[in-house]
A and B are shown apart, each in its own frame.
Chain A
């Protein structure tokens, strides 16, 4: 009985892990390996160039669940905290990242523009993309 319970618990944890959605931050092929802190700094517009390449972070629309997951797991900031952050940045002369309509348009942009970064659903990753960070929801 005890072993069955442990097995059941293990199966539940495993299934939760398996069905958890996986996402990735992708970048143009020319982009070097980045640390999580650097990705965060690029998206918060604290870091604008790496190896003399201008970084172009791309967002999805504000209500996109993938963007919400990115902000929670990668930026570690709530939507409201980001609102206050970008209001302060407006006063300091910085703009938030450009928002794209869809993952497809973000993918096309990343493939064609040096320094571009975006986040997508892991199932959309292909061999042409440079994956620099992965996370699960």
Chain B
């Protein structure tokens, strides 16, 4: 079967699945998955397509097609997420046109959770590194803009394969502590932003009503050394969320054992819900990557239309201080 046929069938199946779920006469709610019979097992997924116009370059992309399965009980539970990443990328640059396809099905997450008691939870497997806010829910349909802030992918490994011990306390306010540990080979390292074989981190969080803040710090070791294998990072994040608006900020830094690799990378973002369907977003970002001798400050203005929450039509425009980096990005994404 040719790749074109495969892609067409995958997209057709996906459309069929989404339309079946939309019109199914059951308790199914779009964006909340489907229960498998009476079992404590749920399935779902998401997909995302986008378009970018940057300088002379235009890019059309099937960014994500992913399938989720999770379930269990209050003591033991599991999560599995498989994803086609950049299944199809068509780039047009003047008269030059390229098409890239990645048909590898990646394991994005696979982990087992053990809720030991009301305070402690142990997670084992491959999981989203619990650093900041953005990295925890970084799929297009659930985030505010199609683009990710630079700070969410240059400072720390987005995924960790190993153990994660969480402590939480809920009384007058919520306190939490996270320990991250990876020692050894990662699952599907090719999918991660850093190919690593070590990652140790600690995070502290505080939540009171609509306000949350987090601090994280850690160390990771790259599989293949470019300049230096041993990297240290720190990140602080704060969020204030109400029914009508959200203000969120993250700021971090990274260094190797020899030098500062990223002096700073951060963003300040505001999202305003004009109505439940119409959302305006403004984000200011800045970073100074000394390893690549690259720095930038840019402003993003975006608008998102959600006919229903798990369906997002997004647009954004970015104004950069770096030459020829201004860009328009449009996307369509669904969580099912």
Contact = CB atoms under 8 A, between A and B. Distances in A.
Contact of B42 (A77, A80, A84, A95): A95
Interface in B62-116: 68, 70-71, 73-75, 77-79, 113, 115
Contact of A93 (B31, B70, B174, B335): B70
A7 B174 CA distance: 44
**Which bucket holds chain B's interface residue count?**
35 or more
Interface in A67-123: 76-78, 80-81, 83-84, 86-88, 90-93, 95-96
Contacts of A41: 170, 174
Contacts of B298: none
Interface in B166-219: 168, 170-174, 209-210
Interface in B127-154: 136-137, 139, 141-142
Contacts of A96: 32
B243 interface: yes
A90 B44 contact: yes
B25 interface: no
A76 B207 CA distance: 14
A47 B117 CA distance: 10
A128 interface: no
A80 B118 contact: no
A35 interface: yes
Contact of A80 (B32, B137, B309): B309
Contacts of A81: 241, 243
B243 A87 contact: no
B270 interface: no
B309 A83 contact: yes
A95 B70 CA distance: 10
A92 B113 CA distance: 12
Contact of A37 (B46, B74, B172, B243): B172
A63 interface: no
Contacts of A35: 170-172
B33 A90 contact: yes
A12 B174 CA distance: 39
| Closest 10 A/B residue pairs (Cβ) | A93-B70, A78-B243, A87-B31, A80-B276, A41-B170, A93-B79, A48-B74, A54-B74, A83-B309, A49-B118
Interface of A: 35, 37-38, 40-41, 46-52, 54-55, 76-78, 80-81, 83-84, 86-88, 90-93, 95-96
Given A81-B241, A91-B68, 19 more contacts: A37-B174, A40-B170, A41-B174, A46-B170, A80-B243, A80-B273, A84-B309, A86-B32, A87-B309, A88-B137, A88-B142, A90-B42, A91-B46, A91-B142, A91-B335, A92-B79, A92-B137, A93-B70, A93-B71
Interface of B: 31-33, 42, 44, 46, 68, 70-71, 73-75, 77-79, 113, 115, 117-118, 136-137, 139, 141-142, 168, 170-174, 209-210, 241, 243, 273, 276, 309-310, 335
